[in-house]
Structure 1
Amino acid sequence: MQRQMMATAVTLGQIQQQLATVADNIANVGTTGYKSRDAKFTDLLVQQIDNMRPADTDQTDQQNRLTPSGIRDGSGARIGDTSVDLSMGAIKQTDNPLDLALTNDHQFFTVNHGGATAYTRSGAFNAQPDPNDPNTLRLLTKSGEAVLGANGQPITLPANYRNLQISSAGAITAELPSGARVNAGQLGLVTVSRPQLLENQGNSVYTLPNLAQLGIGMNEVVQPVAANRGSVAQGKLENSNVDLTKEMADLINLQHNYQLNARSVTIGDQMAGLVNGLLR
C-alpha cells in the first residue's frame, strides 16, 4: 500500500511540472518569436515480483501465456524530456524597419545576455541612445539585451540616420540626412543544429549549457550562417508557434490525470485505514 502511494505521489509531482510547461506555452501564445515546449513522460524503475514455485510445479499455466507471471510493481512516472519545437510561427507585417523576422526555422539572432552570447528568434528590436556616445544608437532587444554583430560586438547605428535597410543576409545599411549610405554592421546570425540543448532564459532568449562538461564542441551545436543562407525579413515579426487548441486539450488531459492520481492516493489512504481498523 505504501509503495503504491509513493509511486502515485511521484507521478503527481511530475504532472505538476508538465502543467507548468503547458501553462507557460499558453501564457506566451502572443509572445513574438516564442517557441513552444513539450514534456514527455517515461516510466521509472519497474520491479518484477515472481511467484515462488517448487521445482516440480506443473507448467501447464505457463503455456500460451501472453503476460509474465507475478506482479510488475512500478515506481511512478517522470518527465524524461522537455523538447523545444522550432517550427515556424506565422509571419506578420509591421513595416517597422527595426522589426526583423527569420524565415529559416533553425536560425537565430545573437544577443548579449548577462555578458554571455545568447540566442533569440524575437526580432522586435529598438534603437536607444548610447550613454557613452551621443552620436550613436545601440540596437537592443525589447528586454534590453544588446544585439550582436557577426564579429561578436554590439551593433551601433548612426544617431541621425534617416532610413535603415537590412538585407536577407543581415547587412545593415544606414542612410544619412545628406543622402550618403554607410555600412552600419552585420547581424550575427547562427544556425542551431541541436536545439534541444537550448535553455530558456525568458523573453524568448536562449542560452547553451557548459558544452565542455557534456563533451560537445561549440561547432557541433552552433554554426555561423553563410551570407547566401541568410533569411532576414525586414519590417516583419514572427508570431509564437504555440498551438492553442493543442495546449488546451493537453491541459484538460493533465487535469484529468492529476485528479485520477489524487483519487488513487485517497483510496489508498482509506484502504490503509480499514486494514489498521481490522488489526486493532
Structure 2
Amino acid sequence: MNRTMMTATNTLNQLQSKIDQISNNIANVDTNAYKKTQTSFNDLLTQSFNNQPNESKEKGRLTAPGIRQGTGAMLSQSQLVLSQGAIKTTDRNLDAALTKEDQFFTVSVQDGKGVNTRLTRDGAFYLSPNANDPDQMILVTSAGHKVLDENGEPILIAGNITDIKITEDGVLKVETEENGEESFGLGIVSVKKPQFLDRLGGNLLGLPENINRLDVNVDDIMTALTGASRNQIAVRQGALESSNVDLSKEMSDLINVQRSYQFQSRSITMADQMSGLINGIR
C-alpha cells in the first residue's frame, strides 16, 4: 500500500466518526434539552523535508520553508456544547426548564453498572406510584428514572395531590388534602467542565469510569447547588427546553464531510490505478 492510500485510509476512518457525530445530532433535533456535540480535526504526524539548504534563495517566501508531507487527519476534540436551547411553553405543572445553560437536574439511574447519579436537562417530570408503598407517588423522568432532591434522595409524595408548583429557585411545592403543603428542593448541579462528562444514552450525562485516574476533582467538574447557592438556580415552570441543534448547520456540515469522504475515496482509486500502471510496465 503506497503512502497516498495510507493517508486517505487514515482520514476516511476519522471522517466516518465525524459523520456519526453529525447524524447523532440530527437524530436528536427534537429531543428535549439535548446538547449537541462538536468535533474538530487536526493533522496526524507530518514530516518536513528541507529541500533548500541555501536560505538566501528563499527570500520573500510567505510560507514555512521546506516541504511537508502529512499522514492524514484525525479528530482532535469532541466538545459538548451547552448553549441554551429555545424555551417552549407547555403550561403543564410538572414541566420545568432550566434557563441557565450550565445547570442540570440529578436523577438516579439503575443499569448494569448499579445505581448511579446521572445528569439531565430534560425537565419533563411525571408522578409514578411507589413500588414499595402504593400510597406514595414518586417523581420520575419520562424514562422512569427517579428525580433526586438536593440531598440525593428520591422525592416521595404521600396523599391526594391538589396542587403542584415549581418555584424559580428549583423548589417543588406539593399541596395534598392530608398533609397540606410540602416542599422539596430539586437536586440541581452547576457544571463547569462539561468536557469531562460522558454521554450515557437516554439524554443522560455522567462522570467517566476512570475519573479516579484523571488529574481532576469532581468538585472542579460540577458543584451541587445547595444551601445559600440555591439562589443561583433558574427554573421556569410549565415550559421545556428544546434541543440546541441547528439543523441547517448540521446539514451543511454533513455535506462538507461527505465531499471530503468522496475526495479521500477518489484518492484511493487513483492510487490503485497508478499502481496498476506501474505493475503493468514490462
Q: Give the TM interval when normalised to the shorter protein.
A: over 0.9
Instruction: Tell me if structure 1 keeps the 8 A contact 2:159–2:176.
Output: no
Distance across 2 between alignment mates of 1:129 and 1:159? 12
Which AA in structure 2 matches 1:215?
D
TM-score, with normalisation over the residues of structure 2?
0.92
* Residue segments in structure 1 that go unaligned for 5+ positions in a row: none
- 2:150 alignment counterpart: 150
1:162 Cα shift?
A: 1.4
Q: CA deviation at 1:163?
A: 1.1
Cα drift, residue 250 of structure 1: 0.5
Question: 1:71 Cα deviation (Å)?
Answer: 3.2
Name the residue aligned to 1:234.
237
The aligned residue for residue 186 of structure 2 is: 187
Judging changes above 3 Å, is the alpha-carbon distance between structure 1 residues 128 and 59 closer, same or farther for their aligned structure 2 residues? Answer: closer
Query: SS at 1:162's partner residue?
Result: strand
Query: In the alignment, residue 95 of structure 2 is paired with which amino acid?
Result: D
**Which deviates more, 225-234 or 243-252?**
225-234
Mapped to 1, the partners of 2:219 and 2:58 lie a distance apart of 55
Distance in 1, matches of 2:61 and 2:11, equals 30
Partners of 1:108 and 1:189 within 8 A in 2: yes
Q: Secondary structure at the match of 2:146?
A: coil
Which piece of structure 1 moves more, 159-168 or 77-86? 159-168
Which residue does the alignment assign to 1:198?
197
Q: Any conservation in 2 of the 1:135–1:160 contact (CA below 8 Å)?
A: no
What is the deviation of 1:65? 3.6
**Do 2:160 and 2:178's aligned partners in 1 also have CA atoms closer than 8 Å?**
no
CA distance in 2, matches of 1:169, 1:80: 38
| C-alpha RMSD of matched pairs (Å) | 1.8
Look up the match of 2:77: 81
Partners of 1:270 and 1:137 lie apart in 2 by: 69
CA distance in 1, matches of 2:82, 2:63: 41
Give per-residue Cα distances to partners, 1:102-125, cap 9 Å, x unaligned: 000100001112311111011111
| Alpha-carbon distance between aligned partners in 2 of 1:248 and 1:187, rounded to the nearest angstrom | 37
Q: Deviations over 1:213-271 (max 9, x none)?
A: 11111111111222211111111100001101101110111111111111111101101
SS at match of 1:165: strand
Separation in structure 2 between the aligned mates of residue 87 and residue 22 of structure 1, nearest angstrom: 17
AA in 1 matched with 2:256: N
Q: What is the CA-CA distance between 1:158 and the residue it aligns to?
A: 2.4
In the alignment, residue 276 of structure 1 is paired with which amino acid?
N
Corresponding residue for residue 116 of structure 2: 116
Deviation at 1:203, TM superposition (A): 2.1
Indicate yes or no: 2:173 matched with 1:173.
Answer: yes
Choose which of 248, 251, 258 in structure 2 pairs with 1:248.
Answer: 251
What TM-score results when the alignment is normalised by the length of structure 1?
A: 0.92
Other structure's SS at 1:250 match: helix
Per-residue CA distance 1:1-44 (angstroms, 9 max, x = gap): 71121111010111111101111111111000101111110111
**Alignment correspondent of 2:37:** 37
Give yes or no for contact 1:148–1:154 (8 Å, CA) kept in 2. yes
The reply on whether 1:217 has 2:220 as its aligned counterpart is no
Number of corresponding residues:
274
Asked if structure 2 preserves the Cα contact closer than 8 Å seen for 1:90 and 1:238, the reply is: yes
8 A contact 1:158–1:174 mirrored in 2: no
For 2:88 and 2:252, locate their aligned partners in 1 and report how far apart those are by CA, in whole Å. Answer: 26
Give the Cα–Cα distance (whole angstroms) in 2 for the partners of residues 41 and 117 of structure 1.
Answer: 33
Shift of 1:211: 2.7
Unaligned runs of 5+ in 2: none
Once the two structures are superposed, what CA deviation does each residue of 1:181-225 show, in whole Å capped at 9, x if it has no partner? 123x21111100001112111222101113321111111111122
Query: Hey, what does 1:274 align to over in structure 2?
Result: 277
Match of 2:3 in 1: 3
